[in-house]
Amino acid sequence: MGGMGRSLSFGRYRLDLDTNVLRRGAEPIAIGSRCVTLLRVLLDARGELVSKATLLRAGWSGLTVAESNLTVQIAALRRLLDDKLIATVPRSGYRFTGKITESNMATRTADKIAVAILPITNMGSDPKERYFGDGITREVITALSRFADLSVIAANSSLRFRDRAVDAHEAQSELGVQYIGTVAVQRVGQQVRISAQLIDTETRAHLWAERYDRHMRDVFSMQDEVAGQIAGVLVAHVARAERARIAQKPAEALQAYDYYLRALDHSRLWDRSDATAAERMLERAIELAPGYGAAHAALTNYLISSWLEPKDGRWGDPATLDRAWIAARTAVQRDPVLPAAHAALGWVQCWRHELESAVASYKHAQELNPSFADGHHGHVLGIAGMPEKGLDTLHRTKRLDPFHPPMLLGYIGHCHLLLGQAKQALVVLRECTTQAPGWRPGHVWHAAACARLKLDDQARAAAAEVTRIHPGFTVSAWQRMHGYRDPRRANIIGKNLIQAGLPRGCRQHLSDDVVSGCRAGG
């Protein structure tokens, strides 16, 4: 599916009129939908004066708000752009002073999943409140537009369906999309209920539905919050549906994108044969499309898994870590605006003990897409001495990704251990080890939690699972792998592991029989 994309360029900036994504050079800029609306009005005026009344009507359609709201949004725009681009005309309004160039860009979307977000007619009794549901819909569209793998139908096209019953076949025919999401809003006084669902246009199957109940203390913050949650969960369900769709295709028909999707099942990460098969798929995808940043990023995660866990001869091999480092840097170079690329770089930096750089890489990924969720992020924060923030990040990831791998539960348990919350850790670690019995870290943290709670028999049983998976395990090697920023908290976990019956290893230097384990960090 291809098409023509209109954009307006001014100085170092370009605004894509179909997706409302603003870029500085190649980098997308995080910007709210209200700011985008005001910017478009100013750009459309081509340097002519735009009155305050006109801007207020455009940005707050149907609402009566104080002029100070406009002042705040204009100030935000000026912070994002060159300050001289927006001039104030005293007591009248504003005008755009930069040179504007309009262009049509051929956009290649054949390898992207097409999605439309359709509003359902406001369920409240007052039809005048329709603007509020439209606002939520626009926010969801803006949030989804930040995902590189999606082609999202512009709001103007989606809103044409507002007063019509949603028909999957009609949406597929008119908009050419594989999936439609619907957003319905019911507002009663200061309470608002937002209902969202996802439909496969080909099968007409309802893939997901959720309801959000909120208080309208701060309507604009509430819109941003709910839109971000809906966008993140929609992407997770679309990705899962696409993997199922691709899996039914014959192997010989797969192209780079198909190989990439087939390799995305993270349950492969702790299974030797499946992980090897996934790596081969990603390598094949890269052969077909060397510039495919997402495939390089996914390969990074598999390589780090092979380096961390005793699955084959690559475990602990410095060459494997170096290869992951190269894959991560290639992902960023090939697709510098892809959040997953920067997250992959942060994951490698963590195990190179470059914790400040790792935290910065994940922060950049989040800035590129506030709805981006990566379970490794919270784990890195815990290792970097910020377990409270790590726990918050992990729970946010869990909300956004309903199909999260069991290792996310392990990371949550780990942060609880770092915070001295053994009881909370034990609950999630039991579930983690049940879902992923072959994943060594889950059993390690499970043993520590049981030992801290004086559950000696359970601690010894968990320790036995660790040595079953990795006969050469030592606590000192495990500690050395992580390179914790806060050694005090890490040492408490280490003492618990020794109490559980796991071997200490050398305090300062590892003995010959665990040198390879030291290289692996495990």
pLDDT tens-digit map of 394-411: 998 888 776 688 899 999
CATH 3.30.360.10 fits 112-237, yes or no: no
Q: How far is CA 451 from CA 263, 448, 493, 500, in A?
A: 37, 5, 9, 6
For residue 308, pLDDT beyond 80: yes
* pLDDT per position as a tens digit, 312-342: 778 878 899 999 999 999 999 988 888 899 9
Cβ burial of 125 (10 Å; 0-12, 13-18, 19+) is exposed
* Residue pair 307/351 in contact by the 8 Å Cβ criterion: yes
What is the band of 269 on the pLDDT scale with cuts at 50, 70, 90?
Answer: low
Q: Quick one: which of 165, 157, 150 has its CA closest to 115? A: 150
What is the band of 109 on the pLDDT scale with cuts at 50, 70, 90?
Answer: very low
The structure's pTM equals 0.62
* pLDDT per position as a tens digit, 26-60: 567 878 778 888 999 999 898 999 999 999 988 88
Q: Where in the chain is the domain with CATH 1.25.40.10?
A: 249-372, 375-522
**Domain 249-372: assigned CATH number:** 1.25.40.10
Rounded to an integer, the average pLDDT of 337-360 is 94
Distance separating alpha carbons of residues 357 and 442, to the nearest angstrom: 26
Rounded to an integer, the average pLDDT of 205-212 is 84
Q: Which CATH architecture best describes the domain 2-105? A: Orthogonal Bundle (1.10)
Q: Where in the chain is the domain with CATH 1.10.10.10?
A: 2-105
Rounded to an integer, the average pLDDT of 481-506 is 91
For residue 349, pLDDT beyond 80: yes
For residue 427, pLDDT beyond 60: yes
Q: Where in the chain is the domain with CATH 3.40.50.10610?
A: 112-237
Q: Quick one: which of 234, 30, 243 has its CA closest to 142? A: 30
* Residue pair 366/372 in contact by the 8 Å Cβ criterion: yes
Model pLDDT, residue 356: 95
Q: Tell me the helices (H) and strands (E) count for the chain, helix number first.
A: 22, 13
DSSP bridge pairs for 9: 14, 101
- DSSP of 120-167: PPP-SS-GGGHHHHHHHHHHHHHHHTT-TTEEE--HHHHGGGTTS---
Interhelix angle 272-288/293-308, nearest 10 degrees: 150
Output 286 or 124, whichever has higher pLDDT: 286
> Is 300 strand, coil or helix?
helix
What secondary structure letter does DSSP report for 417? H
CATH fold group of domain 375-522? 1.25.40
For 157-191, the three-class secondary structure string (H helix, E strand, C coil) is: HHHHHCCCCCCHHHHHHHHCCCEEEEEEEEEECCE
417-436 in b/e burial notation, b at 16+ Cβ within 10 A? Answer: bbbebbebbbebbbbbbeeb
What secondary structure letter does DSSP report for 453? T
What secondary structure letter does DSSP report for 85? G
Distance separating alpha carbons of residues 234 and 43, to the nearest angstrom: 32
Model pLDDT, residue 273: 60
